[in-house]
């Protein structure tokens, strides 16, 4: 452990404050590059400035708070952070916790005259959630060189907007080249968003790997017809096709002996009229598995199913890949540092896989990376009921402090 301590009160106050930014009667929503995302970004920048950090923004809108004491200027930084964009009607901890705890760690180190051997940087990556602009983890993917900047900037959102225009409009089309600062190491603190830590009564998760994610958009074209006069045998019902795909995915995942999970999160029917057989259905499929070969098997099995379904039901089915990331393993050295830090603080800890996608999976391509999880109440996330206890939030931030000190001292 070290003699620097964080201010748990300041961290919690900022989490709750940021959790109120972009909230209305429907709930908390700060979709990437939206007006509410701007409000969240502006609030974060104010806090970074108050902490005396240099604020930098790159061309994909990633925000960095940089602390680089003069003797460290030529060194690669230790980077912490996550994201502050949210899903629709979100919880207030997903992403924001990791950014604000990272800020708290740096601000406390700075205030208590810690002398790092390296700069320490907190990052808030653009568009981690991918709800408005696919793919998800976009800002960190561009930062790590996994997606060309211009291709990302040209992305068209679900509302028809163009990301480049939106970043300019909200004032976060920065001037730094993505990747301009190659981290010496990256550590991301995040809520688990799943049930494991709470179920096992553990305080800390030392995350050593993260599962692969396949996002696809499926368009099913049938034939609009009269709901009353058209015999079932003469229908090309796009809505029925969508239902068959949803139940196929669920049954296959439910009965398989693997860890595969499958979700149909978006579904629209056209013309969406009570007495018209749908001519078109558009749906999204989110497939995940910790093993690449399993994920590929699931993608291939779905393709075969779609072919059969199209023939059986006289439908035309097309598939568009929205995002695809392979499973990622993190730095065993940093994972061990997380475990040691938790142990020294008497916090029960276990190694685990992340079911959710995170910016860490992208930054792992360019720097030794690992994650720290704290328990999610009821395993709930991407839901306004998302909650982690104040004690767990502070404990996680203290472990982040210890891990950063251990790496920054080396
Ligand atoms: O989809 C995910 O796992 C992350 O929340 N973007
Ligand atoms: Mn997140
Ligand atoms: Mn999320």
- CB-count exposure of residue 181 (10 Å: 0-12, 13-18, 19+): buried
Tokens 């494991």 belong to: 196
210 lines ligand 1 (CB under 6 A): no
Q: What percent of the chain has pLDDT over 70?
A: 99
User: pLDDT digit string (tens) for 109-128?
Assistant: 999 999 999 999 999 999 99
Mean local confidence (pLDDT), 48-65? 98
356 lines ligand 1 (CB under 6 A): yes
357 lines ligand 1 (CB under 6 A): yes
N- to C-terminal Cα separation, the chain? 15
Q: How does DSSP classify residue 319?
A: E
Q: Which of 221, 136, 197 is nearest to 378 (CA)?
A: 197
Q: Where in the chain is the domain with CATH 3.30.70.360?
A: 212-325
Query: Is the overall model pTM greater than 0.85, yes or no?
Result: yes
User: pLDDT digit string (tens) for 166-225?
Assistant: 999 999 999 999 999 999 999 999 999 999 999 999 999 999 999 999 999 999 999 999
Pairing outcome for strands 369-374 and 267-270: unpaired
Ligand 1, atom 6: nearest CA belongs to which residue?
129
Determine the atom of ligand 1 nearest the C-alpha atom of 94. 5
Mean pLDDT of the chain: 97
**pLDDT-derived band at 25, boundaries 50, 70, 90:** very high
Q: How far apart are CA 5 and CA 57, in angstroms?
A: 28
User: Is pLDDT at 16 greater than 90 in this prediction?
Assistant: yes
Q: How far apart are CA 197 and CA 5, in angstroms?
A: 25
Q: How far apart are CA 114 and CA 110, in angstroms?
A: 6
User: Is pLDDT at 86 greater than 90 in this prediction?
Assistant: yes
Q: How far apart are CA 187 and CA 62, in angstroms?
A: 16
What pLDDT sits at residue 409?
83
Q: How far apart are CA 200 and CA 352, in angstroms?
A: 12
What pLDDT sits at residue 2?
60
Q: How far apart are CA 38 and CA 30, in angstroms?
A: 8
Q: Where in the chain is the domain with CATH 3.40.630.10?
A: 8-210+327-409
User: Is pLDDT at 137 greater than 80 in this prediction?
Assistant: yes
Is the domain 212-325 a CATH 3.30.70.360 member?
yes
Find out whether 284 and 216 touch, Cβ atoms under 8 Å: yes
User: pLDDT digit string (tens) for 318-338?
Assistant: 999 999 999 999 999 999 999
Find out whether 263 and 245 touch, Cβ atoms under 8 Å: no
State the Cα torsion 90-374-8-80 to the nearest 10°: -80
For residue 185, the surrounding DSSP H or E stretch is: strand 185-191
Evaluate the CA torsion angle 250, 254, 258, 263 in order and state its sign. positive
What pLDDT sits at residue 3?
82
- Candidate of 31, 288, 356, 376 to mutate for ligand 1, largest count of ligand atoms within 8 Å of Cβ: 356
Residue 193 token pair: 């968003």
402 lines ligand 1 (CB under 6 A): no
Q: How far apart are CA 197 and CA 373, in angstroms?
A: 8
Q: How far apart are CA 175 and CA 390, in angstroms?
A: 37
According to CATH, what is the number of the domain 8-210+327-409? 3.40.630.10
User: Is pLDDT at 1 greater than 90 in this prediction?
Assistant: no
């Amino acid at each position: 452990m070290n003699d620097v301590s964080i201010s748990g009160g300041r961290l919690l106050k900022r989490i709750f404050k940021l959790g109120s930014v972009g909230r209305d009667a429907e709930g908390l929503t700060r979709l990437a590059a939206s007006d509410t995302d701007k409000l969240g970004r502006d609030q974060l920048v104010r806090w970074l400035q108050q902490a005396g950090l240099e604020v930098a923004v790159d061309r994909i809108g990633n925000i960095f708070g940089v602390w680089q004491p003069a003797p460290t200027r030529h060194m690669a930084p230790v980077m912490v952070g996550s994201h502050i964009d949210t899903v629709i009607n979100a919880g207030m901890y997903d992403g924001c916790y990791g950014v604000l705890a990272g800020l708290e760690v740096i601000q406390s180190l700075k205030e208590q005259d810690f002398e790092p051997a390296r700069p320490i940087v907190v990052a808030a990556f653009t568009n981690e959630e991918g709800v408005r602009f696919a793919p998800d983890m976009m800002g960190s993917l561009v930062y790590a060189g996994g997606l060309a900047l211009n291709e990302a900037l040209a992305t068209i959102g679900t509302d028809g907007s163009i990301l480049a225009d939106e970043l300019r409009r909200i004032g976060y089309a920065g001037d730094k080249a993505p990747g301009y600062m190659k981290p010496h190491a990256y550590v991301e603190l995040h809520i688990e968003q799943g049930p494991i830590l709470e179920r096992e009564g553990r305080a800390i998760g030392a995350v050593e790997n993260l599962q692969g994610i396949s996002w696809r958009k499926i368009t099913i074209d049938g034939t609009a017809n009269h709901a009353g006069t058209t015999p079932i045998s003469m229908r090309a019902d796009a809505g029925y096709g969508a239902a068959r795909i949803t139940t196929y995915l669920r049954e296959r995942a439910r009965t398989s002996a693997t860890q595969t999970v499958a979700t149909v999160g978006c579904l629209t029917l056209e013309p969406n009229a009570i007495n018209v057989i749908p001519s078109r259905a558009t749906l999204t499929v989110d497939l995940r598995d910790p093993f690449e070969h399993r994920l590929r098997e699931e993608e291939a099995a779905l393709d075969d199913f779609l072919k059969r379904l199209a023939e059986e039901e006289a439908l035309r089915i097309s598939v568009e890949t929205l995002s695809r990331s392979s499973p990622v393993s993190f730095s065993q050295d940093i994972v061990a540092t997380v475990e040691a830090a938790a142990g020294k603080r008497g916090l029960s800890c276990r190694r685990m896989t992340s079911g959710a996608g995170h910016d860490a999976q992208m930054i792992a391509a360019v720097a030794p990376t690992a994650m720290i999880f704290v328990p999610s109440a009821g395993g709930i996330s991407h839901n306004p009921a998302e909650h982690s206890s104040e004690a767990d939030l502070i404990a996680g931030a203290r472990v982040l402090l210890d891990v950063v000190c251990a790496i920054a001292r080396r």
